[in-house]
Amino acid sequence: MHPVDGPRKRVVVGVGGGIAAYKVASLVRLFVEPGHDVRVVPTRAALHFVGAATWAALSGQPVSAEVWDDVHDVPHVAIGKTADLVVVAPATADLLAKAAHGLADDLLTSTLLTARCPVVLVPAMHTEMWLHPATKANVATLRARGVVVLEPADGRLAGSDSGPGRLPEAREILDVCARVLARGVLEPDLRGRRVVVSAGGTREYLDPVRFLGNRSSGKQGYAIARTALARGAEVTLVAAGTALPDPAGAKVVQVGSAEEMRVAVLAASAGADVVVMAAAVADFRPADRATSKIKKMRGDDVPEVRLVRNADILAELAADRHPAEQVVVGFAAETDDVLANGRAKLARKGCDLLVVNAVGEHAGFEVDHNAAVILAADGSATNVPLGTKDAVADAVWDAVVPRLPPR
């Protein structure tokens, strides 16, 4: 199913004056394909990179950067007031500044000022601009107002430069926008919150080519991260053993082993409001790692592998945090006595919530659907029926929000 399938929506795609403007053509097409009504509003600078004819052809709508065109339709007011979503990509440093201070000197900034719908800004600029204190202050102002401002990706920029400031891929931007559209709320309930999510399955190497692992694809953890972004959070995603594209707007830390995940999660969780341990972390690792490939032995002999226990990241997080300052969520994939094992694990780990799911053919590992029971330390339980992993992610955040520490 297309990420934005559903009722026809009115989507405004604003385009800022950056080199990444050419990438937004793909985003417009992704919104148009399922039948949404898409209006592209570029800035004057954006038209130096991609012409109005391109945007008109892709959207099937007239394109202008000026408030003086078609004045009888009052476009500088009408476009924003009638939209279901406004997404701006690339949102340049100049555009962020204008939006933060309420300036309205062209059609796009006027649209942002009159919008009465969710707004998603996708920054892209040189690293120095993104890290400048003025840009940071503008982003903080916008987020405080309920605007979803994604973090830029880290990678190759214009010329030979590289660093944070790259526009995320179009499909990843679309996925976040789909979650924002699905909720349709003006006040994201995770705005201003710092969130850490772990995802995927750790790998414990026996030798340079073999490892002990598990079936986790990371899809549920990535859905939790993406949904948190759409609900306004700043997200750090610690991922192990996945082959998934980075969610647009998340800071992604790639790790391999359970110990690498432990170090990364503990570092990221300092000062975080919520930590969600959705990753499948190996309980054991080989006591010794061979420096070269272990060869097949002659006859029927097989090498013996001695295992040692890995650190319990979830229990360590729960024990070291202040319960009034941080919510800790664990996951448990079970194959039998699901609820009994889940309740025992919740008590043992000391976390606030434990998301328990039975691993089966159509739910859990390596598939797009899941079902769960969210157990709480206060004894309550919430059943989440079989559905998409995005739906499960929303249910998790619905359980987290009432437990958030005060600002």
Residue-wise pLDDT for 100-123, tens only, equals 999 999 999 999 999 999 999 999
Query: Residue holding tokens 């950056």?
Result: 18
- Residue 384's pLDDT is 94
Q: Does residue 319 lie within any of the structural domains?
A: yes
CATH code of the domain covering residue 374: 3.40.50.10300
Same structural domain, 204 and 171: no
Q: What is the pLDDT of residue 187?
A: 83
- The tokens describing 148, both together, are 């979803």
The per-residue pLDDT for range 321-337, each reduced to its tens digit, is: 988 899 999 999 887 88
pLDDT of the residue at 403: 96
| Most distant CA pair in the chain, distance | 88
Element at 235 (helix H, strand E): strand 234-240
Q: For the whole model, what pTM was predicted?
A: 0.87
Q: Rounded CA gap, 59 and 62, in Å?
A: 8
Tokens coding 133: 């204190």
Whether 188 is in a domain gets the answer: no
Residue 30 included in any domain: yes
How many C-beta atoms surround the C-beta of residue 121 within 10 A? 24
User: Which positions are catalytic?
Assistant: 214
Is residue 165 domain-shared with residue 199, that is, in the same domain? Answer: no
Q: Which one of 183, 204, 238 terminates a domain?
A: 183
Alpha helices in 240-368 (DSSP H): 258-269, 313-320, 338-349
Q: Is the domain of 247 the same as that of 177?
A: no
Domain count, the chain: 2
* Residues 55 and 153 occupy one common structural domain: yes
**What is the token pair recorded at 170?**
């179009």
Q: Are residues 16 and 137 in the same domain?
A: yes
What is the DSSP annotation of 353-393?
A: EEEEEE--SSSSTTSSEEEEEEEETTS-EEEEEEEEHHHHH
pLDDT at site 129: 95
For residues 334 and 368, state if they share a domain: yes
Model pLDDT, residue 240: 96
The pLDDT value given to residue 231: 95
In a domain, 5, yes or no: no
CATH number at residue 68: 3.40.50.1950
Same domain, 135 and 24: yes
Dihedral sign from CA coordinates of 384, 386, 388, 389 = positive
Q: What's the confidence (pLDDT) of residue 75?
A: 54
Among 138, 164, 183, give the residue marking a domain's end. 183
* Side-chain half-sphere CA neighbours of 144 within 13 A: 9
**Whole-number pLDDT of residue 104:** 93
Instruction: Report the distance separating Cα 26 and Cα 53, nearest Å.
Output: 15
Count CB atoms within 10 A of the CB of residue 304. 5
Note whether residue 2 is domain-resident: no
- From CA 178, how far away is CA 231, in angstroms rounded? 11
Among all chains, which residue has been given the structure tokens 């157990």? 375
Same domain, 241 and 274: yes
Both 230 and 164 in one domain: the answer is: no
**Domain identity same for 145 and 208:** no
In whole angstroms, give the CA distance from residue 251 to residue 238: 8
* Domain of residue 364, residue span: 194-403
**Residues of the chain predicted below pLDDT 50:** 1, 72, 74
Does residue 117 sit in the same domain as residue 206?
A: no
User: Which of 156, 183, 210 marks a domain boundary?
Assistant: 183
As a whole number of angstroms, the distance between CA 111 and CA 10 comes to: 13
Clarify whether residues 206 and 66 are in a common domain.
Answer: no
